[in-house]
Amino acid sequence: MKVLFDEDVPAKLARSLPRHEIHTVVSMRWGGIKNGALLTLIVRERFDVFLTGDKNMDKQQRLEGRPFAVLIMSAINWPVIRPHIPTISAALDEALPGTVKTIDCGVFIPRVNRPGE
């Protein structure tokens, strides 16, 4: 399965998904391209899945019915998502063209610094 990681998805995740052909927006030299144009490039390059952490993408773009699946991660912080690699891998395996799904891969909770720390 040919997968494109958005700029916000940790590149380290690719090493944990050896059964998939992983590319990143950065490796494709598509950094900074707006979402509408990016979706057109995804179709042109025949990606099967677009993996992103952009929780607003489905509100900004029409994603259903496209020739690839869109998976939206609930978190993008590596220490948070690392224990959820099996869930992410399963979501990639089950992804169907034209669908949009959110993957529950944890929630990043910022650490609050207490005075004096």
Q: pLDDT of 26-71, one tens digit each?
A: 999 999 899 889 999 999 999 999 999 998 887 777 888 899 999 9
- Res. 117 pLDDT band, cuts 50 70 90: low
pTM of structure: 0.89
Cβ atoms 90, 67 nearer than 8 A:
no
- Eight-class DSSP state of 103: E
Token pair of 60 as six digits: 């900004």
Q: In whole angstroms, what is the distance from residue 97 CA to residue 70 CA?
A: 8
Distance CA 50, CA 70 (A): 5
Spatial separation of the C-alpha atoms in residues 93 and 81, rounded to whole Å: 17
What pLDDT score does 29 carry? 96
pLDDT per position as a tens digit, 90-99: 999 999 999 9
Q: Decide: helix, strand or coil at residue 101.
A: strand
